[in-house]
Amino acid sequence: MVENCIIADCEVFAHYSKIVLAYFGAFIICCFIPVAIWCAGTKAAFLFYRCWKTINDRSDNLKPTFSNARKLAQVTWSELHFTQRQIEKSRFKISKDLSAIENIRRQIQKDVNSLPSRRQVYFVEPQRRSSSSSSSSNPSSSMGRSTAC
């Protein structure tokens, strides 16, 4: 009898959980769809506005009409071609400047490599005193000798 109660409780729980999940799913869908529509509409409106503003703010007063469509396409294409040429010129100038900088870097590296690799240290040998007091008679012997290592 206890087993039947457990099974019955599981069936009741499953029934109510299906209802809860169905309402939860419906709630999520009802909240998600309007937000998705609003986002898509806002994005589309923004893109349409930017395109329209770009076309209508032309300095040559070419408006997007059927009679001006061919001229507008030609002018837009020539502007695009001019812009691409400007970009190519800028890229060429930048690459030329970069190669000049690279040449300067190489020259500096070559100059650095031509410097001595280690510091030259000079040691002064100590003076040698003779047992007699005749050290003052030879002035060159009182000076120490320096040797390079």
Query: Considering the domain boundaries, does residue 43 fall inside one?
Result: yes
pLDDT tens string 58-109: 666 766 677 777 777 777 788 888 888 999 999 999 999 999 999 999 999 9
Taking the C-alpha atoms of residue 18 and residue 4, their distance in angstroms, rounded to an integer, is 21
Regarding whether 33 and 75 lie in a shared domain, the answer is no
Q: How many residues does this entry show for the chain?
A: 149
Regarding whether 93 and 72 lie in a shared domain, the answer is yes
Strand partners, 124: 146
pLDDT at 13: 82
Regarding whether 90 and 49 lie in a shared domain, the answer is no
Query: Considering the domain boundaries, does residue 94 fall inside one?
Result: yes
pLDDT band at 120 (very low <50, low <70, confident <90, very high): low
Whether the per-residue pLDDT at 144 is higher than 60: the answer is no
pLDDT at 59: 66
Whether the per-residue pLDDT at 19 is higher than 50: the answer is yes
- Of the residues 15, 39, 57, which one is the last residue of a structural domain? 57
pLDDT band at 1 (very low <50, low <70, confident <90, very high): very low
Encoded tokens for 80:
């695009």
Domain, as residue range, for 87: 63-108
Regarding whether 15 and 52 lie in a shared domain, the answer is yes
Encoded tokens for 98:
């970069």
Between 149 and 101, name the one with better pLDDT: 101
Let me know: does 58 contact 64? Beta carbons within 8 Å.
Answer: no
